Amino acid sequence: MLRVRMRRGEGVGPLVLLLLVGGLVSAAESSDYSEAEVLPDSFPSAPAEPLPEFLLEPEDAFIVKNRPVQLRCRASPATQIYFKCNGEWVNQNDHVTRESLDQITGLVVREVDISVSRTQVEELFGLEDYWCQCVAWSSAGTTKSNRAYVRIAYLRKNFEQEPLGREVRLEQEVLLQCRPPEGMPAAEVDWLKNEDVIDPSQDSNFLITIDHDLIIKQARLSDTANYTCVARNVVARRRSSTATLIVYVSGGWSSWTEWSECNARCGRGWQRRTRSCTNPAPLNGGAFCEGPPFQRVTCTTLCPVDGGWTDWAKWSACGTECTHWRSRECQAPPPRNGGKHCSGSMMESKNCTEGLCARNKKISIEHASHPLAPGMSVAVYAGLVGALLLCVILVLCVGVLAYRRRCRHLHGDITDSSSALTAAFHPGNYKPPRQDNPHPLHPSAPPDLTATAGTFRGPLFSLQQGVNDSPHKIPMTTSPLLDPLPSLKIKVYNASTLSSLELPADMGSCDGEILSLKSVSTMGRERDYHSHTLSREPGLSTSATMGNLGGRLTIPNTGVSLLVPPGTIPQGKFYEMYLIINKWDKTTLPSEGSQTVLSPVVSCGPSGMLLNRPVVLTLPHCAQLDTPTPDWTLTLKTQTHQGAWEEVLTVGEETLSSPCYLQLEEECCHVLMEQLGTYGLVGQSCPPQPACKRLQLALFAPRAPCLSLDYSLRVYCIHDTPHALKEVLDLERSLGGVLLDDPKPLIFKDSYHNLRLSIHDIPHTHWRSKLLAKYQEIPFYHIWSGSQRPLHCTFSLERGSLAVSQIACKICVRQVEGEGQIFQLHTDIQETLPPHSPLLSGGTCLPSSQVGPFAFRLPDSIRQKICASLDAPSARGCDWRLLARSLGFDRYLNYFATKPSPTGVLLDLWEACHQADADLVSLATALEEMGKSEVLVVMTTDGDC
């Protein structure tokens, strides 16, 4: 085979040589054919040769110390293959070429190697790294391979940050930080515990973050060890200094032993009890127990007094048996405090006839009990049996009388079912419900209205009353109490089914409550509070079907929203997501003790669904947070299926086990969570400063024109949240009230002082106040607890005549020894006022549900590029941690560090915080401060900023 090598600058010579060689080959072939048979007139054309295709392309390589690297490429079909490095051709002599024939295709396969030394890489000037590219030729053209970069590998000796030894208490969270030395390629980090590699997959108590920090979730005694951070790459392996972690246990006292016996058997003494510092015993330098190991108290033991006989009494008269008696008692002194009883006989007798009688025997009666004679024993037992039989007979009689009386009582309550069906009720018994039912309903369960229905007893069915129904009865005749009953239809089934009520259309939609009838056989069953559906009130709930693209649920004019980021729901799954604000009268509040409710209680679901990443729940709150010192202890709570409230997290006390992250703002909070359910925010004062709540004062009056002499002004005291104001506006709209002025803010302090309301400057010539006192007060606890809603005071006025239409007065509202507000009222009660709603003027109303990419301000392409740029840890700290500080989300960075994409979670939180004004300028400003110019170019090109 003829091999032709071509150098640079010799392009014409090889071409001429190829033509000459081609001519010689053609002449030789012609001579061969001439000696054979006659050639055909035409020959088939040969197929065109394809472009070269690279079977092997050069790969990135690192020069370790002074060892050169080999770059190799292979192409077919290829006439020639050469390397070009940094835009210049590599000398032909530096190529090592190998040639072979593909047995399948029959095409020529060429393979070329070059060697790149450290000197060649170091001699390169410029910002770009040293690169090489392979170029292959064929008769059809040329093909270029990908660039292969050659870099000098290194690993610095000094760590940027080494772990430090610590002493921590048992079960405390531990963070050991490590920043490896700068290197090329970037160093991989391993942690050693007593020279053994730590594998978090084998021990879930360890967690290695993407920043190479080691987190011990709960320190154990076995975690006391030497920890070393090891960095390695292809060049070298570096070890940090060893950090010694000591997990200590402070001592705890055991329980006190029982008091010992008094050491003095008689009189004053001591009693002693002890305890030991073994629960647990101090270990590894832990503090010893504080306090004494023993206690001693005085005791007094009463001294025993032995009994003593009194003097003998006089002899009795002489009896028929020729004896007389005398006695004495053990009362001089009587035995006390365990003293001995008198010894000897209590009575004695002797013959009183000087031996003239036959029976001359001295009888002594010991101080002891003697058995009864056989005759007396039978009599006693017979009497006991008779008394027992008499008691049984009396009990049976009383039971029979009570049963007969109860039967008469039941017969008096029987009502004919036919009369009930025809609405012509015969006189029966109606039992009003109790208003002080001590068993509150489950917050989200539909109320059991059977407790408020009357009781109709019949042979098969009855309307069941509550357990605590009053025993009083009201005759059911043609009184107005029976007005709603003609619209009530009763269906009666067999004994194995329940009766049902068909409600009219205007009652069936009230609050989503279900009115049910229960048969007699179910009266003793326990109510199931968990198999229920949440009540969805108009204006207080929203829902949408969402999939992998995510979306946003917003309840208009309430400040409550739920952000479901893209990728939260698994691919191919769809869920009916809902968001509901629970009404105050249908839920138990999460506050207890001195806590106060600061946000609406919100349910989002469906609960129990699997989420791939956190969702963001936004709740408005009324805590005053602009004070220089923290005066609130804020706690997020969730409600269990049994209706009890449990603490999720306390702001500022988060740990790695905290399931949520709470971003607090002045008027709302954003909760990152991975479990849907019912949530609420509560708080309490953090001594020594008292906390303050933001309240709103709203003034309402009857809608004009007023046709009565009486006129009332209502002042509401509500939380400074959009939801609370919307609730009051809806209530007043149903009562025919109108808002006279914009609500006024009021700062209410945790000072145990009441809220005082008073009216002044009434024109007494035309108006008269019906208020007997100078002012009204709302108790402090009613406002602070938030358990009673809505709170208001009414000022009742009376005008002199119907001709009076103008009223001007002043209403003062203030907390005793606190802040206050004044309403200046001047209105015409006969003039129809235009509807005034501060909710509509406060900003744009967001749609209740948005699904897919339109729900997010940040396009998905920009989001992915920002995550790719910031997720990887940077030695200079210019990564997602700096973005969290720039956006103000850096209160607990460990929460984001445990997520697969910390930047993605930060951007989700940014979307939730800026849903109303989500322009990209604020995010672009943060990225510009970080020096991420390449991301800014992408945002400028693809975004709207």
Unique residue bearing structure tokens 């003062």: 812
Q: Which residues make beta-bridge pairs with 461? A: 519
Q: How far is CA 519 from the centre of its chain?
A: 40
pLDDT of residue 243: 93
What pLDDT band is residue 383 in, cutting at 50, 70 and 90?
confident
Asked if 569 contacts 575 with a C-beta cutoff of 8 angstroms, the reply is yes
Taking 70 as the threshold, does the pLDDT of residue 498 lie above it? no
pLDDT of the residue at 305:
87
User: Tens digit of pLDDT for each residue in 4-46?
Assistant: 333 333 343 333 333 333 443 344 344 444 443 444 555 555 5
User: Is pLDDT larger for residue 876 or for residue 551?
Assistant: 551
Q: What is the pLDDT of residues 219-257, one digit of tens each?
A: 999 999 999 999 999 888 999 999 999 999 999 999 999
Nearest to 877 by CA among 160, 57, 215, 378: 160
Q: What is the maximum span of the chain, computed from C-alpha positions, in angstroms?
A: 190
End-to-end CA distance of the chain: 65
DSSP string, 383-444: HHHHHHHHHHHHHHHHHHHHHHHHHHHHHTTB--HHHHHTT-PPS-EE-PPPS--SSPPPTT
Q: What are φ and ψ of residue 319, in 5° steps?
A: -90, -175
Residues 6+ apart with CB under 8 A from 167: 245, 246, 248, 284, 285
Lowest mean pLDDT among 15-24, 97-106, 383-392, 915-924: 15-24
More confident residue, 944 or 390: 390
Which pLDDT score, from 0 to 100, does residue 490 have? 33
pLDDT for residue 839:
59
Residue 875 DSSP label: T
Give the pLDDT confidence score for residue 477 in this predicted structure.
Answer: 34
Q: What residues pair up with 192 in beta bridges, in sequence order?
A: 197, 228
The answer to whether 243 and 164 have CB atoms below 8 angstroms apart is: yes
Q: For 544-563, how does the pLDDT look when each residue is reduced to its tens digit (9 = 90+)?
A: 999 999 999 999 989 999 99
**DSSP category for residue 249:** B
Residue 452 DSSP SS3:
helix
- Tokens 């799954």 locate to 573
- Specify the range with the lowest mean pLDDT, choosing from 41-55, 92-106, 200-214, 776-790: 41-55
pLDDT at 315: 85
Short-list 465, 517, 527, 513, CA closest to 492: 517
Q: State the amino acid at position 742 in one-letter form.
A: D
Q: Are 623 and 683 in contact (CB under 8 A)?
A: yes
Rounded-to-integer distance, Cα 439 and Cα 601, Å: 20
Q: What is the reported pLDDT for 933?
A: 66
Helix, strand, coil percentages (3-state) for the chain, rounded to 5, are 20, 30, 50
Residue range 62-91: average pLDDT? 90
Using pLDDT thresholds of 50, 70 and 90, give the confidence band for residue 641.
confident
CB 460 within 8 A of CB 492: yes
Name the more confident of 539 and 542: 542
User: Can you tell me the mean pLDDT for 188-211?
Assistant: 92
**Rounded to whole angstroms, how far apart are CA atoms 896 and 889?**
10
- Is the Cβ–Cβ distance between 810 and 775 less than 8 Å? no
Instruction: Using CB atoms within 10 Å of the CB of residue 538, give its burial: 0 to 12 exposed, 13 to 18 middle, 19+ buried.
Output: exposed
- pLDDT at position 464, please? 37
CB 847 within 8 A of CB 888: no
Closest to 748 in 3D by CA, of 898, 634, 624, 609? 624
At 447, is the pLDDT very low, low, confident or very high (cuts 50, 70, 90)? very low
Residue 1 is predicted with a pLDDT of 36
Which residues have C-beta within 8 Å of that of residue 164, sequence separation ≥ 6?
176, 177, 243
CB-based burial label for 917 (10 Å; 0-12, 13-18, 19+): exposed
Q: Is the pLDDT of residue 534 over 60?
A: no
Q: What average pLDDT does the segment 376-401 reach?
A: 81
- The sign of the torsion formed by the CA atoms of 846, 851, 854, 859 equals positive
Exposure string for 386-408, b = 16+ CB within 10 A, e = fewer: eeeeeeeeeeeeeeeeeeeeeee
For residue 547 the two structure tokens come to 């999939």
The answer, yes or no, to whether residue 634 has pLDDT greater than 80, is yes
- State the average pLDDT for the chain: 77
Provide mean pLDDT across the span 764-793: 86
- The Cα 465–Cα 33 span in angstroms is 119
Question: Token digits for 744?
Answer: 């006024």
Residue position matching structure tokens 């030394």: 117
Inter-residue long-range contacts of 854-859, CB under 8 Å, 24+ positions, other chains counted? 855/550, 855/551, 855/552, 855/563, 856/550, 856/552, 856/565, 856/566, 856/911, 857/911, 857/914, 857/915, 857/918, 857/919, 857/920, 858/907, 858/910, 858/911, 858/918, 858/920, 858/923, 858/943, 859/942, 859/943
> What is the Cα–Cα distance from 476 to 453, expressed in whole angstroms?
13
Residue 273 has pLDDT above 90, yes or no: yes
Mean pLDDT of 357-378: 47
Counting residues of the chain whose pLDDT is more than 70, the rounded percentage is 74
Per mean pLDDT, which range of 482-491, 644-653, 711-720, 768-777 is the poorest? 482-491
* Whole-number Å distance between alpha carbons of 761 and 811: 9
Joined together, the tokens standing for residue 602 give 């919100």
* AA identity, residue 415: T
Three-state SS string over 908-933 comes to HHHHHHCCCCCCCHHHHHHHHHHCCH
Identify the pLDDT of residue 706: 81
- pLDDT at residue 500 greater than cutoff 90: no
Separation of alpha carbons 180 and 232, rounded Å: 9
Q: Which amino acid is at 685?
A: S
Mean pLDDT score, 878-884: 88
Residue 734, classified by CB atoms within 10 Å of its CB into exposed (0-12), middle (13-18) or buried (19+), is: exposed
Per residue in 589-615, pLDDT (tens digit) is 888 878 899 999 999 999 888 899 999
* pLDDT value, residue 190: 93
Residue 358 — very low, low, confident or very high, per pLDDT cuts 50/70/90?
low
3-state SS class at 904: helix
Q: What integer pLDDT is reported at residue 939 of this predicted model? A: 64
Instruction: Check: CB of residue 911 under 8 Å from CB of residue 856.
Output: yes
Report the alpha-carbon distance of residue 303 to residue 338 in Å, rounded.
Answer: 8
The predicted pLDDT at position 830 comes to 80
Lowest-confidence segment of 164-173, 434-443, 907-916 by average pLDDT: 434-443
